[in-house]
Amino acid sequence: LPEGVLLLAAAVLVHSGLRAVTTPFLDSYYAACFGAGVVLAWRFHSTRVALALATLFLGERAILFFSGGHSLSGSSGYTAFALIAILLPLNFLVLSFIADQGFAANALASRVSFLFLQSVVVAAMCRPSYYGGMRFLDVALINSRWVAWTRLPQMALLAFVVALTALAFRFVCYHKPVESGFFWSLSCTALAFHSGAIGKAATMYLGTAALILLASVVETSYAMAYYDELTGVPARRAFNEALLALDFPYAIAVVDIDHFKSFNDTYGHETGDHVLRLVAARLARVSGGGKAYRCGGEEFSIIFSGVSSSEAATHLESLRRSIEHSPFKVRAQGERRSAPRGPDRRQRVSRKKTQRLAPAETINYEVTVTVSIGVAESITHDDGDVKQVIQAADEALYRAKRAGRNRVEVSTGAISKQYIGKSKKAVSH
C-alpha cells in the first residue's frame, strides 16, 4: 500500500470501459503524473525513480512515433512495441539494483548515456527495411495457444515475469517503498502493453505507473522522517505524534542499553550499531500491545495503550530477559601494536635468523547485552500528564541504573516496584 490500491483503481476504471473519461482528461492525467513524479524525484534526489520515469516516457513516445499513434499493424510499430516490451522490464530490473547517487553530472552521465544508446538501437531496428532481421522477437518459447490471452510476444512476457519476480523478491528482502513502487509500476506497465500500449487504456495504465513511482518517493520521504534508518523502528518524530494521540489509561517505558558507551569504545562503532539493531529487533516484538520508538542514541521508548504500569512491567520483564539471553559474537583483531614489528636494532642479530612475524590473530568474543527499563503510567485524564509520565519513567530508569542495571523498575505515584529476574519486591520512596 498505497501503490497496489492505485493499480487496482486504474484496472477498475479500464474494465468499466472508460466511457466517462475523455481523451484530453487522460492526457492531462498522464502529463501531470509524469511531471510531478520527475519534480519530486529531483527534489528528493531519487535518481532511480527519475530514470524509471524517463524510461517509461521514452518507451511510450517511441511506440507512438513508430506506430503513427494508431495501430501496431505496421512493421515499424510492432517492432518498437516488441523491443520496448523487452527493454522496459530489464531497465526496471537494472535500476532496482543501482544506488541513488544524486543528480550530479558525473553520476548521471553513464546512466543517461545508457538510455540514449537504447534509443539509438530501437530507432535503428525499427526501420521498415530492417524488419526481416527482427524475427527473433516472435520466437515461440512455449505453445502459442497458452499465451493467446495477451498481445505481448513470448520474449517480452518472459522479460516481464523475470523482472517482476526479482522485484518482488527484493521487496520481501528489503521492505523499501521504492522496491514496492518498482514492482507495482512495472505491473501497471505490463497491463498497458497487454492492452496494446496505444489508446485510452494504455494511457491510463502508464499514467498510473508514473503515479505509483511518485507515491514511492513520498513513502520514502515519510519513512526517512518517521523511521530510524539504522534500526528500522519508529523515530522520535513518530513518538511525539503518538503521544498526542494517547487515550487514558496508558503506560510509557524508557529503555536504555547498559554501558553502551564503553561497549562502543571497546568493540567499535560498527559493533555498537549491531547492538542497537539487535535490541531494537527485540523491542519491536514486545508483547502486551506495546510499540517501540528510538528516541536518540541508545535510548528507546515503549508506549502501552490501555495498560497499567504493573501490567506493562510483566511484558517488559520478559523483554529484558530475552535481550539478556541473546548473546552474539564479536570479531576483534589481535592488537598489532603489542607485537614486535621487526628485529631490535639494539641487538646484533643476523637478518637470516630473523623469523617472519605471524599475522594478527582474529578473536571471537561472545557478548551479552543488558538493558535497564523504567516505566510509569498515566494518573489523570489531563493532557499535560504525558510529560509527567515520561519524567516519572525517566526517574524510574535512573533508579534502575543506580540499583545495579539490568532490571525493570515501575513508578506509580509514591510507590516504586523493582522487577529483578523472577523476584519482585516493592520499595517505598
Three cell numbers written together for 130: 530492417
CA dihedral 169, 174, 179, 180 (to 10 degrees): 80
Query: From CA 374, how far away is CA 370, in angstroms rounded?
Result: 14
Three cell numbers written together for 366: 561472545
Handedness of CA 42, 47, 50, 51 (dihedral sign): positive
Q: Report residue 377: phi and psi, to 5°.
A: -120, 160
Enumerate the active-site residues.
298
For residue 152, the cross-strand partners are none
Unique residue bearing C-alpha cell 504525558? 386
Residues 6 or more apart whose Cβ sits within 8 Å of residue 211: 6, 33, 37
Closest CA to 374 of 351, 357, 390: 390
Residue 224 DSSP SS3:
helix
Query: From CA 423, how far away is CA 137, in angstroms rounded?
Result: 73
Pair 235, 347: CB distance under 8 Å: no
Query: From CA 70, how far away is CA 77, in angstroms rounded?
Result: 9
Closest CA to 157 of 199, 118, 121, 189: 189
Position 53: which residue type? L
Q: Report residue 255: phi and psi, to 5°.
A: -120, 135
Contacts by residues 218-226 (CB-CB < 8 Å, ≥ 24 positions apart): 218/40, 219/2, 219/177, 219/180, 219/181, 220/44, 220/46, 220/176, 220/177, 220/178, 221/44, 222/177, 223/176, 223/177
> What proportions of the chain, in percent to the nearest 5, are helix, strand and coil?
60, 15, 25
Q: Is 102 left (phi over 0), alpha (psi -120 to 50) or beta?
A: left
